[in-house]
Amino acid sequence: MEKNGNMLLDKIWQKGRDFLGVKYPIISGGMTWLSDHELAKAVSDCGAFPVIAAGNMPPEELEEEIDVCTKMLKTPFALNLITIAPNYRAHFDLILKKNVQYVIFAGSFPRKTDLEEMKKHGKKTLSFASERTIASRQIDYGVDALILEGSEAGGHIGYVSLIILLQQVLFEFRDFPIFVAGGLADGRLIAYLLLMGAYGCQFGSLFVCSNECNAHPRFKEAFIRARARQAMATPQYDSRLPVVAVRAIKNRATDEFGKLQFKLLQQLEKGEITRDKAQYEVEKFWVGSLRRAVIDGDVDLGSLMAGQSVGLINEIRPIKEIVGNLICDAEKELQRLSSLFDNLK
């Protein structure tokens, strides 16, 4: 690989660098209980783009986390806001007052007024696009950039695979900042996505399997052992209880979530619970069971939220090595393609 500054990558990812304000437009995805200031610092020190996950954190704890990041990080960072979290509105109001330059809306899709309010306070806004109509609507609402996330991703997901989204969205909105996520774990793919027009790429499960990630060792071991097909998306059983699909490694928690849905549907049928309360119970389940796995190490009854990229991950490594390998592999692939095209002339 050529020395930094003369890489082929420099010729095609400058727009992503400029938008994020970092050396490498590689985003560490916002993961509840995992994307904290320690992981953010390791990512920032490597020149990549860190994200802090608000999850459903108590507002005072989130404020402390933001203050720590503001003091210690060398690069800009983003706050990942879960729009369907019970504490979303408190988080939203807090961020307006803080020195957070980027806000990523996740879980569901932000309202136009929320985007406008963040931008009025000088924040750059990003949101996830899980299908073409959503991408178009978010652009019309004024979002600054999209994260095109395929259903291969972990956690809350849409229903369309990345290969379709690339054709529906990335190829159509050529002049709009779009980052790509979902099922990514190999640096060689970065080369192709940049050539296709992406501003950069986001990785989640890959960064879980790092030395710096605070996840319980058993949680990381479950990722290393899992095959891609074992990271399954949860179904919605009845339209009366809308459920945002969650991809996680199948275990007893997956079965327990199915039982919870049936229980809530029965309560809805009898008028014992409102739909809003039922949806709250769904999110409460995921927040609690995720903590059970991530922090306590209960990989049987805790939620193992993971993308299908776990099938490509087979070791725990330092962030510096992970980021370095992504860049090196992407550059080598571009060099290979360059030689191939030269031979075709």
The predicted structure's pLDDT at residue 112: 97
**For the residues 94-119, what does the mean pLDDT come to?**
95
User: Are 288 and 228 members of one domain?
Assistant: yes
Is residue 39 in a domain?
yes
Q: What is the C-alpha separation between 215 and 219, in angstroms, rounded?
A: 6
Which of the pair, 4 or 235, is modelled with greater confidence? 235
User: Are 190 and 44 members of one domain?
Assistant: yes
| 70-82 confidence digits (pLDDT tens) | 999 989 999 999 9
Give me the residue label for tokens 């060689």.
188
Neighbours of 292 (CB within 10 A): 20
Mean pLDDT of all residues belonging to the chain: 94
| 207-263 confidence digits (pLDDT tens) | 999 999 999 999 999 999 999 999 999 888 888 888 888 999 999 999 999 899 999
Is residue 1 in a domain?
no
User: Are 110 and 21 members of one domain?
Assistant: yes
Is residue 2 in a domain?
no
Is residue 132 in a domain?
yes
Is residue 85 in a domain?
yes
User: Are 114 and 197 members of one domain?
Assistant: yes
Let me know: does 161 contact 150? Beta carbons within 8 Å: yes
pTM of the model: 0.93
Neighbours of 321 (CB within 10 A): 13
The predicted structure's pLDDT at residue 6: 64
- 3-class SS string, 71-120: HHCCCCCEEEEECCCCCHHHHHHHHHHCCCCEEEEECCCCCHHHHHHHHH
Is residue 25 in a domain?
yes
Is residue 243 in a domain?
yes
At residue 2, does pLDDT exceed 50?
Answer: no
The predicted structure's pLDDT at residue 276: 86
Q: Which residues of 92-119 are buried (b: 16+ CB within 10 A; e: fewer)?
A: bebbeebebebbbbbbbbbeeebbebbe
For 134, the enclosing helix (H) or strand (E) is helix 132-141
User: Are 231 and 324 members of one domain?
Assistant: no
The predicted structure's pLDDT at residue 282: 86
Under the banding of pLDDT at 50, 70 and 90, the label for residue 3 is: very low
What lies within 8 Å, CB to CB, of 105 at 6+ separation is 81, 83, 114, 115, 125, 126, 127, 128
| 314-337 confidence digits (pLDDT tens) | 999 999 999 999 999 999 999 999
User: Are 130 and 228 members of one domain?
Assistant: no
The predicted structure's pLDDT at residue 5: 52
At residue 84, does pLDDT exceed 90?
Answer: no
Which of the pair, 84 or 32, is modelled with greater confidence? 32
| 262-274 confidence digits (pLDDT tens) | 999 999 999 999 9
**For the residues 29-45, what does the mean pLDDT come to?**
96
Q: What is the C-alpha separation between 11 and 161, in angstroms, rounded?
A: 28
Nearest Cα neighbor of 32 from 101, 102, 119, 91 is 91
Q: What is the CATH number of the domain that holds 67?
A: 3.20.20.70
The predicted structure's pLDDT at residue 235: 86
At residue 31, does pLDDT exceed 50?
Answer: yes
User: Are 164 and 280 members of one domain?
Assistant: no
**Which domain does 87 fall in, by range?**
9-215+313-344
User: Are 62 and 198 members of one domain?
Assistant: yes
User: Are 58 and 134 members of one domain?
Assistant: yes
**For the residues 122-134, what does the mean pLDDT come to?**
95
User: Are 153 and 17 members of one domain?
Assistant: yes
Is residue 3 in a domain?
no
**For the residues 173-185, what does the mean pLDDT come to?**
96
| 138-164 confidence digits (pLDDT tens) | 999 999 999 999 999 999 899 999 999
Let me know: does 310 contact 207? Beta carbons within 8 Å: no
User: Are 18 and 47 members of one domain?
Assistant: yes
**Number of domain units in the chain:** 2
Give me the residue label for tokens 């979002």.
143
What is the percent of the chain where pLDDT is above 70? Answer: 98
Neighbours of 314 (CB within 10 A): 11
Structure tokens at 49: 């783009």
The predicted structure's pLDDT at residue 212: 97
User: Are 226 and 287 members of one domain?
Assistant: yes
Report the side by side order of strands in the sheet with 178-181.
26-28, 200-203, 178-181, 145-149, 124-129, 102-106, 78-82, 51-53
Neighbours of 48 (CB within 10 A): 25
